[in-house]
Amino acid sequence: MKVIRAKSAGFCFGVERAIDIATTCTEGGKCRVYTDGPLIHNRQMMEKLTASGILEIGDYKSEKSIEDDIDGAQDDSVLVFRAHGVSPERREYLKSLGMRCKDATCPDVGKIAGVIKMHSNKGFTAVIFGDPDHPEVIGLLGYAGKKGFVVKNKEDVDKLPNIAGEICLVSQSTMFTDDYRELAEYFKRRFPDAKVIDTICGATKERQKDVGVLAEKGAQAIIVIGGKHSANTVKLAIMARRTGLPCFHIETVKELDIEAVKKFDTVGVTAGASTPDFLIDEVCRKLEEL
C-alpha cells in the first residue's frame, strides 16, 4: 500500500513548546511538575509525560481547585499553565498557590487573549466563535470581562441579546476557516458594524489545507490520527469526510481497521497538532506492510 503522509501531520509549534517547557522544568526528572488540566489533548503523550514526572492535576476545563492535588509539592516543584491558556481569574488563582509557575500557553492563544482584552478595554463586546466547553474558549472568555459571549453556530447568533455599542468577533484558534467566514457573514447581517478578526492559527490552517492536498495526490481514504477529545484532530476528521473519501479517525495503531483499509491502494495519513510522531510512525509502518 502507498502511504501519503501530510507534511503538517503532528505537533504544531505551540504543543512542542508546551512540552519543551514542562520537560525542561523537570530538570531531568529531579523536579516534580504539575499541569493544571491536560497540558495538551493527547492521552498517549500525556501518559509519556506522566512517566517523566509531569503530573496532570485539576480537570479538563481547568475549573476545580487544586490545593489537595499539590499537597505533596516540594520547594522546587513547578506548576505549568496548559497550552490552551487559562482565564485571568484562573491565572491569579494558580499564582496565589505559592508554587513556582511557568506559562506554557501557546503564543497564538495568547494573541487571541490580547485581542479580546484590548477590545474589551476599549468598551467592545467580544463574541467568540467556538466550543463553549473547550478550555481555550473558557480561558479566552475571561478576557472579555462581563461583556463576552460564545457562539458555536448561526442559531447561537440568533439567540444573542441586542448588543449596544461596539462588537468584535473572534474565533477559537482551531475552527474551520470556511465555517468562520460563513458565520462571520451571518453575524454581520445582524450586527453590521461588528469588527471581524481572523484568529484561526497558522498551524490549523496548514493542517486543514493539507487534507485537500492528500485527496489531490490520489489518496483513496484518509486516516486521521489523534485524540478523540482534541478539537483540531476532530476538525481534521470532519474535513477529511467533507472530501467525500472514507475517513478513519484513530488514536493509535491498535484502532486501525485492517479489513476496511486493506482494500485501498493509496491512503493519506494526517494527524492533529497534539499527536506525537511515534504514533504516526506506527500507523504508517502498519499501512506500508499491508
CB-based contacts of 159: which residues, under 8 Å, 6+ apart?
Answer: none
> Contact, 271 vs 5, CB < 8 A?
no
Joined together, the cell numbers standing for residue 265 give: 491502494
Residue of 173, 199, 233, 270 that binds ligand SF4 (CB under 6 A): 173
Question: What's the min distance (Å) between Cβ of 22 and ligand SF4?
Answer: 14
- If the CB atoms of residues 40 and 219 are measured against ligand SF4, the closer one turns out to be 40
Asked whether position 21 contacts ligand SF4 by CB under 6 A, the answer is no
Asked whether position 70 contacts ligand SF4 by CB under 6 A, the answer is no
Asked whether position 170 contacts ligand SF4 by CB under 6 A, the answer is no
> Contact, 135 vs 83, CB < 8 A?
no
d(CA 28, CA 46): 17
CA distances from 168 to 143, 152, 198, 235 (A): 13, 15, 11, 24
Among 47, 89, 136, 166, which one carries the catalytic annotation?
136
Task: Give the chain's count of helices (H) and strands (E).
Answer: 11, 12
Question: What's the min distance (Å) between Cβ of 108 and ligand SF4?
Answer: 4
Three-class SS of residue 158?
helix
Site string for ligand SF4, 26-65 (x = CB under 6 A): ----------------------------------------
d(CA 198, CA 154): 18
Residue of 42, 199, 204, 270 that binds ligand SF4 (CB under 6 A): 204
Active site (annotated) includes residue 136:
yes
Site for ligand SF4 in 77-116 (CB under 6 A): 83, 106, 108-109
* Residue 192, phi then psi, degrees to nearest 5: -55, -30
Question: What's the min distance (Å) between Cβ of 106 and ligand SF4?
Answer: 3
- If the CB atoms of residues 77 and 172 are measured against ligand SF4, the closer one turns out to be 172
Question: Comparing C-alpha atoms, which of 46, 73, 94, 121 is closest to residue 275?
Answer: 46
Asked whether position 208 contacts ligand SF4 by CB under 6 A, the answer is no
Asked whether position 14 contacts ligand SF4 by CB under 6 A, the answer is yes
Residues at the site binding ligand SF4, with contacts judged by CB under 6 A: 12-15, 83, 106, 108-109, 173-174, 201, 203-204, 232, 273
By annotation, the residues acting in catalysis are: 136
